[in-house]
Amino acid sequence: MVKILNLYLAKKFIKIFLSFSFGLVFVIFISNFLSNIRQSVTDNVSNLSIIINAAYDVPYYFQLALPFIVLVSALFFIRNLSNSNELDIIKASGISIWKLIQIVLPILIIVGYLIILVVAPLSSTLKTQNDSYSSINNNITTTEDSFWIIDKQGNTKTIIKAKQAVIKKGVIYLSNLIVFKIVNGTFNLRIDGESATISSGKLIINKASVKDNVTMFPKQMPSYSMDTNLSAKNLQNVVLEPSMIKIWNMPNFIQNLERLGLNTNKYKVYFYNLLAYPLILFAMFVLGIGLALSRKKRISGTKIIITGIVVGFSLHFFMDIINTFGSSDLISPLLTILGELGLILSLGIFLVVNKEGL
């Protein structure tokens, strides 16, 4: 009997959760679709391209908003149980609110790991591939053994692959590098070099082997100079956003950026946030339960919606501030996540204990 009741409660929460999740995906897609239509009014873009681009950001925004969907789902979960008198029956059968929370916990853990292992990697892949409407001109990323720097100047794209990179006194030093120059989408030049420096708007490659798309054999030159937008000052600004890095690549990425001398706090904040994602979902669920519990027999749907909106925006504002502190090195990135998680979970537990007891 108890197992049947547990299964019934789990299905009831899943139904509410999926309803809000699908609704969220639809709203995100329509919003992106309308935004892309406005941006492409003067461009010759097919309807299929607009639809595909509208879907690119859906995983990212879904991942971002899911904790608040869990909060709202918890609010309506308790509201529906209370209004149908099922909550009283459940309590009378010996199932407390804490037991109710334990029933939903495995669901949230599974959802959290699906976000970490499926949705977040899919989001990073789509965000890096979608450059149709992107205004980003330059970026830098790393693999286990190389740095990749892209510099765009009009119709010219310069791709730099270097084994090592470091910044000293405002100069970027590169070693064991390969440079590809692409003009109007066509290969134009390849330069292999032993070392290089970037400063004062110039990329100077030492002991260069230069091969263009006309000559058969490369030319050996003591040095080769190219114009570039990159500098030690703006290099931090062109590093890929944390959401574009897959979680399993993040540790090496952070390590390489630290070796380069760049600030990695925002990447650590994002990485720790992903690792703690299942716990964040659980904390939001407990908070939603605490907010929804009431001594009244019937709970107003309007009140639930207003509560969800106010609490959701308040938490979003608070988390943005804390994440900004963590990214700017005012507090430790790890402490940032522990602080967010601790506050939400403590507030939720306090509300549940205050209304239901231990």
Percent of the chain past pLDDT 90, that is, above it, reads 12
The region of weakest confidence among 32-46, 124-138, 272-286, 303-317 is 124-138
Instruction: Note whether residue 237 is domain-resident.
Output: no
Q: What is the pLDDT of residue 132?
A: 41
Q: Per-residue confidence at 180, pLDDT binned at 50, 70, 90?
A: confident
Q: Per-residue confidence at 130, pLDDT binned at 50, 70, 90?
A: low
Q: What is the pLDDT of residue 238?
A: 55
Count structural domains, the chain.
2
In single-letter form, the type of residue at position 275 comes to L
The region of weakest confidence among 35-39, 100-104, 195-199, 201-205 is 35-39
Spatial CA neighbour of 254 closest among 242, 64, 176: 242
Instruction: Note whether residue 242 is domain-resident.
Output: no
Domain match, 128 and 268 both: yes
Q: What is the pLDDT of residue 136?
A: 45
Domain match, 122 and 202 both: no
Domain match, 67 and 173 both: no
Domain match, 205 and 269 both: no
Per the model's pLDDT, the better-predicted residue between 231 and 24 turns out to be 24
| Domain span at 296 | 2-132+264-356
Q: For 174-202, what is the mean pLDDT?
A: 85
- The two most distant CA atoms of the chain are separated, in Å, by 86
Q: Per-residue confidence at 334, pLDDT binned at 50, 70, 90?
A: confident
CA distance 263 to 207: 31
Domain match, 105 and 219 both: no
Q: For 322-345, what is the mean pLDDT?
A: 84
The alpha-carbon radius of gyration of the chain (Å, integer) is 26
Is residue 278 predicted with pLDDT exceeding 90?
yes
In single-letter form, the type of residue at position 81 comes to L
Instruction: Note whether residue 310 is domain-resident.
Output: yes
Q: For 44-73, what is the mean pLDDT?
A: 80
Is residue 34 predicted with pLDDT exceeding 50?
yes
CA distance 320 to 327: 10
Instruction: Note whether residue 83 is domain-resident.
Output: yes
CA distance 356 to 126: 45
Domain match, 126 and 24 both: yes
Q: What is the pLDDT of residue 133?
A: 41
Q: What is the pLDDT of residue 237?
A: 57
Domain match, 214 and 276 both: no
Q: For 62-71, what is the mean pLDDT?
A: 90
Q: What is the pLDDT of residue 324?
A: 80
Q: For 59-65, what is the mean pLDDT?
A: 87
Q: For 203-229, what is the mean pLDDT?
A: 84
CA distance 123 to 256: 22
Instruction: Note whether residue 81 is domain-resident.
Output: yes
Q: What is the pLDDT of residue 283?
A: 93
Q: Per-residue confidence at 4, pLDDT binned at 50, 70, 90?
A: confident
Instruction: Note whether residue 244 is domain-resident.
Output: no
Domain match, 272 and 128 both: yes
Domain match, 273 and 205 both: no
Domain closes at, from 228, 244, 274: 228
Q: What is the pLDDT of residue 16?
A: 92
Is residue 20 predicted with pLDDT exceeding 60?
yes
pLDDT tens column, 291-308: 887 656 556 666 677 777
The region of weakest confidence among 122-136, 227-241, 323-337 is 122-136
Q: For 264-269, what is the mean pLDDT?
A: 86
In single-letter form, the type of residue at position 330 comes to L
Percent of the chain past pLDDT 70, that is, above it, reads 85
Q: What is the pLDDT of residue 113?
A: 93
Domain match, 162 and 115 both: no
Q: What is the pLDDT of residue 114?
A: 93
Q: What is the pLDDT of residue 40?
A: 58
What is the SS3 assignment for 53-71?
HHHHCHHHHHHHHHHHHHH
CA distance 247 to 55: 21
Domain match, 15 and 106 both: yes
Q: What is the pLDDT of residue 135?
A: 42
Instruction: Note whether residue 51 is domain-resident.
Output: yes
Instruction: Note whether residue 278 is domain-resident.
Output: yes
What is the SS3 assignment for 264-322?
CHHHHHHHHHHHCHHHHHHHHHHHHHHHHCCCCCCCCHHHHHHHHHHHHHHHHHHHHHH
Q: What is the pLDDT of residue 110?
A: 94
Tokens of 147: 């740095």
Is residue 235 predicted with pLDDT exceeding 70?
no
Domain match, 165 and 215 both: yes
Domain closes at, from 203, 228, 253: 228
